[in-house]
Structure 1
Amino acid sequence: MDGSGDGEPPSGHQGRGGARTGPGGAAARGARLRAALLQGPPGPARARFWRSPLRGPWLTSVFGVVLLAGIAVVFTTGLLSYAAYNPDLAAVNDTTPDKGLLGFYLFDWPTSPYWLYRLTQGLHVTLGVVLVPVLLAKLWSVIPKLFTWPPVRSAAHALERISLLLLVGGAVFQFATGLLNVQLTYLFPGSFYPLHFYGAWVFISALVVHVALRMRVVVAALGRRRAGRAGEPPAAAHPSPGGSGTGLEATRPAPPTLSRRGALGLVGLGSLTLFAVTAGQSIGGPLRVTALLAPRGRGPGPGPNGFQVNKTTAAVGISASDIGPDWRLTVRGDGGERVFSRPELLEMAQFSAALPIACVEGWSTTDQQWSGIRLADLAALVDAAADDGRAPGVMVESVQQEGAFRAAALRANQVRDPRSLLALRVNGADLSADHGFPARVIVPANPGVHNTKWVERLTFGGLT
């Protein structure tokens, strides 16, 4: 007997069809399965999928620092823009009524300097547009991290992953809604204002967490560069598996076609190009004609009324009869109510003020010479006075019946400013219909939509 007849084959022998059997074969299969699970599914979850030799902590850190500085300015100017709407003044001003604690910082928006809103909103929009290439480059530099396998390794790693997803999603959402608003295009359901406002807080919260978790890595990466360990950060021809441990470097890099400084220069050129075709809408002057991406920011037309218009009479449904000879202005206050025709308003003392119009989309006009009646004088006609005996706030209502911003509330400090007018003329001529004829409000440092056009009623006092 050779012992090869009855009984099971020895452990590790091959059975029928060459299949490996026994404890050794099962262990091997289990080991291969565990290895496959750790390595991740084929595609972007595997490190070998990403082959660019440019990716690494240094380049990502540079993009991150630029974004961090720029976003700090964009976020701050965005908060200022929100404050300029005076959302805690009256319901008609508050586009985010459920803001709660997020409105902790709100303050009385000033009227001086008169170009304040033009500066802050122009900076907010222009810098936001200029940062788009930097944002895209930063997302490209860290995209392997989005496919990290396994998705979660620990509680700390889970927190970092959640903050990363909120950060990336929040950044894309904020920049997308902002750019669409500049183009007067609204693809998302709901109003732009609450979407952009709440989205900003989600994004900035995720950014704070991300910075806290990654700042040490950024400082270390930039510190190695300053220490001279790389004159120009190399294209990492043969990095070791895992690189610096950040998961950004390619484990099997392709031949470089661009240096990292070249990549920085390319991103910088993209930002400079966007600046050139955007900034003119708020800066004005010769650059205004280069504002190719600004629907309302390019060259004005001829004549005294030849400057930018946001809403036209046709767009908001105002007919010729609404603003014709039968139009009347009603002024209300503690002392009762008075009604004026336009000729009667023109007979009153007229004052002038050189003020721009600046809108949330980032575009603005140069200073226009407005003339009309001071709001404080109109308040005095109906004996409207606050507790201190000075002019109170006012609710301004338009002939416009439909659409947003048909009314706006102005604070007492805005009414009292001698440059705040019920304007009847501009640049020496009667207002055109699209610029608010028969009468419109113009207030220094005020968002354009709150400089109400086609005014039919002023109610002084009673604001909360």
Structure 2
Amino acid sequence: MARFPSPFSFPSSPAFWRSPVRGARFTSVLGLVLLAGMTVLFVTGLLSYAAYNPDLHRVNDQTPGKGLLGFFLFAWPTDPHWLYRLTQGVHVTLGLALVPVLLAKLWSVVPRLFALPPVRSLAHALERVSLLLLVGGALFEFVTGILNVQLDYAFPGSFYPLHLYGAWVFFAAFLAHVALKAPTAVRNVRAMRAGREEQREDDVLAAPRPDPPTVSRRGALWLVGGGSAVLFGTSAGRSFDGPLRATAVLSPHGGPEPGEGPNGFQINKTAAYVGIDPRETRPEAWRLVVTGRSGTVRLSLAELRRLPLHSAALPIACVEGWSTSDQWWRGVRLRDLAALVGYDASDDPPDVLVDSLQRSGPFRRAALRANQVGDARSLLALDVNGEPLSADHGRPARVIVPAAPGVLNTKWVARLEFGEL
């Protein structure tokens, strides 16, 4: 007969924890998986932040006062054109797939979190603080990341600085924990691979009076891995082409395309949602204002179409992890527009500040670096897949830049200001 904890036992009591799966070896396997996975998440997260060009202080910098935390920033490249689609797709898909591993790891060590007395010495106090930062940081990063993927901003403040600062706090505690625990974890995993699953007498994570086993430690690990596989299969299609796009049921942008025809591919926010007045985007009313070294030029849609038009096959990839396949865009090169206001953008391209007609939400203004302006595939797009842009895809004109995050591919463009930012 299975035994149950006494109704008077609490999580701080060893008698509360009865699963025979518990133990240092089970925890060590999960820890090594998280060691690899969390490192990839941290690196791809920093790459995503760099892709937002936060050193362009006038607009894109979402984390003022970051100081030394900005050491990794660099001019985000435009090649390969699918770069951000890959890095952010890996970041979000891997983060979702690691959720069962993280929960299992927390379950396996939870007795240590409730151990009494809470502090036995100064060294123990420091260990407890680092553990608090580790667990709290992991939960904070995963919860805010998943909410951002679901476009649910229930947390206060901007996602970008919260997630960046939280990542640094978590990863510092994570590295300290790895330095202390990695050698033991490797020894425990080697013992499991050798077939030795017996409980060691000094295993502080094992239940002191375990219930009869219903599954082996290996079986429990397979269960956790199966949960990760399910989350991968129901989310990965949002980031990569192929049959998994139809199974991405956990993604707000998964499954079939939202419409038909040349403009029938994914969007993040509609024109109505961000407050676009259709009267402002009519060809007879809309004008593009271009400013730069030699002054200001105002162009109607008809005048833009009389300029040399070029095409490029580029995807849209967003910070939430979803992306489209390559779409064929056609419009005026950004560097040709820069030339209209006094810049030889082929040799020395300027930065550009892009203003949108949108009235709500972040990135109503966005900045692009000079290397992005100078790329021949960077366009002020007027058409997509052979037809004019729809209202939700940015009619009458939107920016499209290779390898840039979707939020920097500004829709409903009203003004381009070229110069050093």
Q: TM-score, normalised by structure 1?
A: 0.86
Greater relative contact order (CA < 8 Å, ≥ 6 in sequence): 2
Aligned twin of 1:447: 405
What is the SS of the residue equivalent to 1:414? helix
What is the SS of the residue equivalent to 2:354? strand
Q: Which amino acid aligns with 2:51?
A: A
Q: What is the identity percentage for the equivalent residue pairs of Structure 1 and Structure 2? A: 64
Aligned twin of 1:187: 154
Aligned twin of 1:27: none
Q: Which structure: larger Rg?
A: 1
Aligned positions of 1:290-309 closer than 5 A: 290-300=247-257, 301-309=259-267
**8 Å CA contact 1:56, 1:141 repeated in 2:** yes
Identify the match of residue 151 of structure 1 among 118, 124, 133: 118
**Distance (Å, rounded) in 2 between the aligned partners of 1:361 and 1:297:** 12
Aligned twin of 1:214: 181
Give the drift of 1:183: 0.7
Aligned twin of 1:418: 376
Structure 1: gaps (5+ residues): 1-40
**Distance (Å, rounded) in 2 between the aligned partners of 1:311 and 1:45:** 48
**8 Å CA contact 1:342, 1:438 repeated in 2:** yes
**8 Å CA contact 2:247, 2:254 repeated in 1:** no
**Distance (Å, rounded) in 2 between the aligned partners of 1:233 and 1:445:** 48
**Distance (Å, rounded) in 2 between the aligned partners of 1:287 and 1:42:** 46
**8 Å CA contact 1:391, 1:415 repeated in 2:** yes
2:347 corresponds to 1:347:
no
Give the drift of 1:68: 0.7
CA RMSD after TM alignment: 1.5
Aligned twin of 2:323: 364
Q: Which amino acid aligns with 2:211?
A: A
**8 Å CA contact 2:54, 2:62 repeated in 1:** yes
**8 Å CA contact 1:111, 1:417 repeated in 2:** yes
Give the drift of 1:98: 2.0
Tell which deviates more after alignment, 318-327 or 110-119: 318-327
**Distance (Å, rounded) in 2 between the aligned partners of 1:208 and 1:159:** 15
Instruction: Show CA shifts across 1:67-88 (max 9, x none).
Output: 1100100110000000000001
Give the drift of 1:94: 1.0
**Distance (Å, rounded) in 1 between the aligned partners of 2:341 and 2:156:** 43
**8 Å CA contact 1:90, 1:409 repeated in 2:** no
Give the drift of 1:45: 1.6
**Distance (Å, rounded) in 1 between the aligned partners of 2:247 and 2:134:** 33
**8 Å CA contact 1:131, 1:271 repeated in 2:** yes
**Distance (Å, rounded) in 1 between the aligned partners of 2:253 and 2:365:** 22
Instruction: Show CA shifts across 1:420-445 (max 9, x none).
Output: 00000000000001000000000000
Runs ≥4 residues deviating over 6 A: none
Q: Which amino acid aligns with 2:85?
A: R
**Distance (Å, rounded) in 2 between the aligned partners of 1:296 and 1:399:** 24
Instruction: Show CA shifts across 1:166-202 (max 9, x none).
Output: 1111111110111111111111111111111111111
**Distance (Å, rounded) in 2 between the aligned partners of 1:400 and 1:49:** 56
Aligned residues: 412
**Distance (Å, rounded) in 1 between the aligned partners of 2:400 and 2:412:** 12
Aligned twin of 2:75: 108
**Distance (Å, rounded) in 1 between the aligned partners of 2:25 and 2:129:** 23
What is the SS of the residue equivalent to 2:73? coil
**Distance (Å, rounded) in 1 between the aligned partners of 2:111 and 2:325:** 47
Aligned twin of 2:3: none
**Distance (Å, rounded) in 1 between the aligned partners of 2:251 and 2:205:** 37
Q: Which amino acid aligns with 1:296?
A: H
Give the drift of 1:297: 3.1
Aligned positions of 1:51-450 closer than 5 A: 51-226=18-193, 228=194, 231=195, 233-234=197-198, 236=199, 243-244=201-202, 246-300=203-257, 301-324=259-282, 325-385=284-344, 389-450=347-408
Instruction: Show CA shifts across 1:319-346 (max 9, x none).
Output: 1112112100011111111100001101
What is the SS of the residue equivalent to 2:111? helix
Q: TM-score, normalised by structure 2?
A: 0.95
